[in-house]
Every structure is written in C-alpha cells, then in structure tokens.
C-alpha cells in the first residue's frame, strides 16, 4: 500500500505540471487570437493543426506506455478548446445528430465548436455562403457507393471554397435495446447501410424484417421504441441516444471510407508540401479537348487524384468536369497548368488548395 501511495503522489505531481502547462498553452492561444483578430486572419487553420499532429507523431513514435493515437485524441480536444478561446465558431454538418457527417465534424473540429445539424447539403452551402456559419462538413464520395452528386452540384452553384478534407472509415454498428442478437426480429437502417452490411445480415439475422429509413439516426430512434428491433448506425449514436452496441464493425468491407470536404466562405493559403487542389472546368466542345487538358497535367508530372463529370444542366450532352490533383495553387507549375487550361475551357473555377486529409 505504501508503494501505491508513493506512486500516486508522483502522478499528482505530474498532473499539477500538466495543468499548469495547459493553462499556459491556453494563454498563448488567446494571445494568438488577438493578433489574428487585428490582422483579420481566420481562426481555423487546418494546415497548422495538421502540423501539430505530425509533430505529435514524431515525438511519440518511441513511446512505450502512451501510444500516439491516444495522445492525438487528447490533443484534438485541447486544440478544439484553445481554438474556441480565440473565437467561437459554428460548423454545419449533414444531420441528424450522430450521423457519419457529424462524426467527421467532431473528428476534425473536436467538441468545443458549435455543431449545427442541417437536413440538406443545399442548406449547409447556403449558410456558409451567407455567413450564418463559418464552416460546413459535407460528404463528397464513398469508396463503396461512389460520388455524392448533390455536393458537386452545390460546388458549382455557390461561391465557396474547399479548405480541407476528412477521410472517415465507416464502421457500422448493430444497436439495440436487446441484449442478445437472437431477440432481434426487425432491423431499421438506411438503404446504403443495408447494402454495406449484407454479409453480416444474411449470416447473423437472415430472417429479420428490414425497414429502410431516411438516415441511420432515424433508424436508431425507431429502434428505441421497438423492443425487439435493432438499427445500423455509428458508434457515436450509441452515446447520443443511449442504446447498446451489440456488434461493432459489421460492414462487409473493412476499407469502406467516406471522403468529406470542409467548405468555407474564404480560401486558405497553404504552405504544406502535401496539398491538394480542386477545380471545376467546362470544356470547349471539340474533339480531343479533354485529352489535351489532361495532357497538360501529365506533361508536368502532376498527379490527378480524381476526375468526375456532371451534366451542365444548360444544354443536352454538355458536361462539367471536377478535377482533383496533388499540388498547391501557389506552385509555379500549378499556376502554369491552370493558365493553359483556361485557354481551352469555357470557364475554370478554382475550388481551393488544402492540406491532404488523413484517415480517422
């Protein structure tokens, strides 16, 4: 017992130092906030926050007792709170609460921001454009189900910028008030979740009655009022709605990942070497023009990460192309390729340069 007390005293001493240093960190964050206000600089700096996490990874790579991922989670909330000391910000997400977009927003911004639920992607874009919220988090593509075309349509319609991206591994959970999976007679879930969990459903609850819902959160609300039912939803839905997780990670593909983008009213200046740029182009209608544009990237060894077409909705068979590529709009060869592209397009819209996102 004496040895335990001695060790606890050492922990208390360390806690005192940690608290003192955290208070100092918060003080400096507030001072930075004052300077940002004077210079009219944005409070949220995705590049700075990414650099902090990279530094944490470097410092903790040889840790024996406290792994890097745990320290990063702690720092995520420290950063979120100290950012809020500089200025309170509003972040819109595609709801309802406990949706995967909500989870992505929390993973990126932490909990010390005002998370606001929106029922449509359109409303998020409109609110960012009108300055009602500072940032919005919206899904743009899923590795299993493909592109979210509504997000692309809104990027055409509204003058907003992409300032960051988040890759979220989609871990579906089976949530229920039941304590045993054998008690489940009905399953509530969004159509995409059902599609992504077919193997699990067929193997473990093959005779279950399936009812599609408008969202995973709506599925949980239905399951809360049905004693012999379950829902497919995220793990945070368990915390938000106080419901049991019967099974974790029931998705068919372990690589099921959704890419979310962070949108803001203003573009950001990126210094990070590993950055991405997104643009929209409408091409001149003549043979070989798209090949000619793509060749401009190839000739400069610029790596394209995505190209997607959408109908322009102005006339039949007229298309707009979304292009993502590695590089920064401030780089000379990127400036050069953009200049060349503009010569061959009806219009070119730069959606922004931003740091490459990590997977949560």
pLDDT, tens digit only, all 360 positions of the chain: 789 999 999 999 999 999 999 999 999 999 998 998 899 888 898 888 888 998 999 999 988 899 999 999 999 999 999 998 888 899 999 988 888 999 999 999 999 999 999 999 999 999 999 999 999 999 999 888 889 999 999 999 999 999 999 999 989 999 999 989 999 999 999 998 999 999 999 999 999 999 999 888 889 999 999 889 999 999 999 988 999 999 999 999 888 899 999 999 999 888 766 899 999 999 877 788 889 999 999 999 999 999 998 887 766 657 899 999 999 998 999 999 999 999 889 889 999 999 988 766
Task: Tell me the pTM.
Answer: 0.88
Q: Are 325 and 277 in contact (CB under 8 A)?
A: yes
Distance CA 21, CA 174 (A): 41
- Asked if 98 and 166 sit in the same domain, the reply is yes
Distance CA 359, CA 316 (A): 38
Nearest to 279 by CA among 258, 299, 296: 296
Pairwise CA distance, residues 106 & 124, whole Å: 16
Q: Indicate the residue among 263, 292, 325 that finishes a domain.
A: 263
Asked whether residue 66 is domain-assigned, the answer is yes
SS3 169: strand
The CATH number assigned to the domain holding 77 equals 1.20.59.10
Last residue of a domain, one of 202, 217, 248: 248
Give the SS3 label for residue 140. Answer: strand
The rounded distance, in Å, linking the Cα atoms of 100 and 120 is: 14
Whether 304 is covered by a domain: the verdict is yes
285 domain residue, yes or no: yes
Residue 360 lies in a domain: no
SS3 277: strand
The verdict on residue 349 lying in a domain is: yes
Number of independent structural domains in the chain: 4
DSSP string across 125-161: HHHHHTTSSSEEEEEEEETTTEE-HHHHHHHHHS--E
Mark whether 183 and 221 lie in a shared domain: yes
- Residue 193 sits in a domain whose CATH number is 3.40.190.10
| Whether 214 and 275 share a structural domain | no
Q: Which of 86, 121, 149 is the last residue of a domain?
A: 86
DSSP for 211-222 reads: EEESSHHHHHHH
Q: Do 49 and 73 sit in the same domain of this protein?
A: yes
Collapsing DSSP to helix, strand or coil, 5 comes out as helix
The parent domain of residue 327 ranges over: 268-355
| Domain identity same for 164 and 178 | no
Do 239 and 278 share a domain, yes or no?
no
Pick from 322, 332, 264, 258: nearest CA to 290: 322
Here the CATH number for the domain that contains residue 329 is 3.30.70.260
Q: 97 with 149, same domain? A: yes
Q: How many CB atoms lie within 10 A of CB 304?
A: 12
Whether residue 239 is contained in a domain is answered as yes
Q: Are residues 273 and 351 in the same domain?
A: yes
Do 63 and 123 belong together in one domain?
no
């Amino acid at each position: 017992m004496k040895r335990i007390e001695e060790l606890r005293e050492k922990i208390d001493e360390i806690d005192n130092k940690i608290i003192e240093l955290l208070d100092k960190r918060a003080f400096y964050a507030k001072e930075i906030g004052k300077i940002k206000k004077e210079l009219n600089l944005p409070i949220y700096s995705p590049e700075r926050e990414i650099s902090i996490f990279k530094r944490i990874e470097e410092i903790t790579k040889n840790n024996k007792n406290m792994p890097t991922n745990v320290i990063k989670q702690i720092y995520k909330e420290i950063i979120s709170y100290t950012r809020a000391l500089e200025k309170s910000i509003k972040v819109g997400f595609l709801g309802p609460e406990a949706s995967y977009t909500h989870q992505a927003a929390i993973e990126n911004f932490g909990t010390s921001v005002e998370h606001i639920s929106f029922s449509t992607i359109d409303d998020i874009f409109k609110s960012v454009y009108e300055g009602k919220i500072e940032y919005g988090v919206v899904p743009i593509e899923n590795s299993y189900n493909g592109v979210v075309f509504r997000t692309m349509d809104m990027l055409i319609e509204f003058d907003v910028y992409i300032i960051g991206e988040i890759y979220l591994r989609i871990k579906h959970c089976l949530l229920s008030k039941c304590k045993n999976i054998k008690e489940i007679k009905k399953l509530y879930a969004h159509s995409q979740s059902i599609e992504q969990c077919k193997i699990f459903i067929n193997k473990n609850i093959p005779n279950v009655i399936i009812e599609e819902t408008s969202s995973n959160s709506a599925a949980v609300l239905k399951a809360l009022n049905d004693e012999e039912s379950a829902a497919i939803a995220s793990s945070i839905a368990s915390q938000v709605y106080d419901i049991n997780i019967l099974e974790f990670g029931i998705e068919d593909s372990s690589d099921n990942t959704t890419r979310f983008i962070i949108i803001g009213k203003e573009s950001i200046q990126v210094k990070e070497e590993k950055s991405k740029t997104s643009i929209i182009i409408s091409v001149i209608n003549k043979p070989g023009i798209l090949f000619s544009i793509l060749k401009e990237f190839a000739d400069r060894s610029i790596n394209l990460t995505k190209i997607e077409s959408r109908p322009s909705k102005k006339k039949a068979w007229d298309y707009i192309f979304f292009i993502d590529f590695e590089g920064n709009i401030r780089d000379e060869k990127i400036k050069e390729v953009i200049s060349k592209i503009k010569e061959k397009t009806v219009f070119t819209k730069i959606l922004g340069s931003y740091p490459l996102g990590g997977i949560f």
